[in-house]
Amino acid sequence: MLIHLKLDNFKIWRSTGPIALAPVTLLLGTNSSGKSSLIQSLLLLRQTVKGDDPNEDLNLGNPDTGDSVTLGRFEDVLCRHGTGRKVGIEFRWSADGSPAGSTLFSAKYRAGPAGAAELDSLRLGKDGQGFTVTRRKPGVYALSLADERRSRGQSREFRPERSFALSPAALARLGTDGDSLHDVGPALLEELSRILYLGPVRRLAERDYVWRGRMPGTLGDDGARAIDALIASGIAAQREKKGRTSPSGDSLLFRQTIHWLCRMGLADGLVVHTLGRSARHELLHRESCRAYQSEGRRRRRISGAAGHRRGALRSAGPHRHRRGAGESPSPAGGGTVGRAVRRREQGAGCAVPRRDPLGAPVPPHADLDGARHGFHSRLRDVLFGARWSWGSWSRGSYCHVGG
């Protein structure tokens, strides 16, 4: 686990000083105070060491390749109020979380060609072990082992690949002294690969998803694999139900998700639906109808005592769909509505309801200017997905009976 972090001339930070990291570390501060920069420094190194270009010292990000962070050019990373022209990133990690026996990564970067970052120096390894490289001229580095004060010479072969691993040619040149360095680079790669980052941006929902038949190792930086995890857990729950076996850990995520959706009143359940014999799946939710049922009972009680009101009749209760301009009100609202429908069918002078710009019926006794008064609020409801408020006169169904 990471136990120490220090940044120099990195974005807003002139120097963070040594930051102790615990199993649970909270970063608190105002907007643009540098909280995200602390996390971005580790993500930069993670996407660098996991890359496939051995000549890239620091991967500043490319939005077209799905990198975790994209920071532009080296000048965009360099602190404008700092001292010097080098960016420093340093951290320590250990298996048990104690400083004793921890491994150090300490690197400094300088401006390279075409706005890239170029490695200036690197110290990697445990205290009294590991190696140190220092840039002498473009592409040429001096190498020293452990705590040696004199270098083993300088060569292009001593340039670390992706800022963390010596090349096979450099290890072969060191002979038996390079045997202790074989595990240094892979240990750093393993530690940075354990960083799981979930950013604030989510992908839009898709109509269906292709499932690879296994539980994903991570959810992805934007949570894109969360659906894969739910599908995998849901398939496991279906198998347990079909085989009548006891719940296992594979279905725990699916069962816990249903529990919290029901507890928050968002849905009554989840269902994984396989599209034919393909690998495509749908994740469906059963929406809770308890709120609509209670609202319907309340509206029916009100309509029972309302009856005729100045020649206007209102259909009561929530409806499953909105009626068109030529459709009659539902007779579920009560006997008075049913009589109005019959009189309309007999041609008793029943007028077709006028409608506002959104198609909602407007009572004949109300002027259109008054009907347009709530137009913007109704438009906001439609655009932003607000639930319809059944019983609002501007969204009800009206039929004026002449005579």
Q: What is the pLDDT of residue 129?
A: 92
Task: For residue 39, name the pLDDT band (cuts at 50, 70, 90).
Answer: very high
- Long-range CB pairs of 53-56, under 8 A, 24+ apart, other chains included: 53/162, 54/161, 54/162, 54/167, 55/161, 56/116, 56/162
Does residue 346 or residue 105 have the better pLDDT? 105
What's the token pair of residue 7? 């940044």
Kindly state the percentage of the chain with pLDDT values over 90. 42
Q: What is the pLDDT of residue 273?
A: 86
Distance of alpha carbon 267 from alpha carbon 259, whole angstroms: 10
Mean pLDDT value across residues 8-37? 93
Mean pLDDT value across residues 2-11? 96
Q: What is the pLDDT of residue 285?
A: 77
Distance of alpha carbon 295 from alpha carbon 391, whole angstroms: 10
Q: What is the pLDDT of residue 354?
A: 53
Question: What value does the CA radius of gyration of the chain take, rounded to a whole number of Å?
Answer: 33
Under DSSP, is residue 161 helix (H, G, I), strand (E, B) or coil? strand
Closest residue by Cα to residue 40 from 64, 65, 76:
76
Average pLDDT, the chain: 77
Give residue-wise pLDDT tens across range 302-321.
444 444 333 333 333 333 33
Q: What is the pLDDT of residue 274?
A: 86
Task: For residue 104, name the pLDDT band (cuts at 50, 70, 90).
Answer: very high
What's the token pair of residue 109? 């970067």
Closest residue by Cα to residue 138 from 59, 53, 55, 61:
55
Distance of alpha carbon 390 from alpha carbon 302, whole angstroms: 13
Q: What is the pLDDT of residue 361?
A: 54
Give residue-wise pLDDT tens across range 187-224.
999 999 999 888 887 778 777 788 888 898 888 888 88
Q: What is the pLDDT of residue 386?
A: 36
List of residues 6+ apart from 84 with CB closer than 8 A: 9
Q: List the chain domain ranges.
A: 2-193, 209-286, 322-400
CB of 164 closer than 8 Å to CB of 49: yes
Give residue-wise pLDDT tens across range 348-402.
444 445 554 445 555 554 444 444 444 444 434 444 443 333 333 333 333 333 3
Closest residue by Cα to residue 63 from 218, 276, 222:
222
Tell me the C-alpha to C-alpha distance, in Å, between residue 27 and each of 5, 32, 33, 37.
Answer: 13, 12, 10, 11
Mean pLDDT value across residues 19-42? 93
- Amino acid (1-letter code) at residue 261: L
Q: What is the pLDDT of residue 58?
A: 95
Q: What is the pLDDT of residue 304?
A: 45
Distance of alpha carbon 245 from alpha carbon 260, whole angstroms: 23
Give residue-wise pLDDT tens across range 122-179.
999 999 999 999 999 999 999 999 989 899 999 999 999 999 999 999 999 999 988 8
Predicted TM-score (pTM) of the model is 0.65
Give residue-wise pLDDT tens across range 216-275.
888 888 888 888 999 999 999 999 988 888 888 889 999 999 999 888 888 888 888 888
Distance of alpha carbon 43 from alpha carbon 59, whole angstroms: 10
Q: What is the pLDDT of residue 218?
A: 83
- Amino acid (1-letter code) at residue 314: R
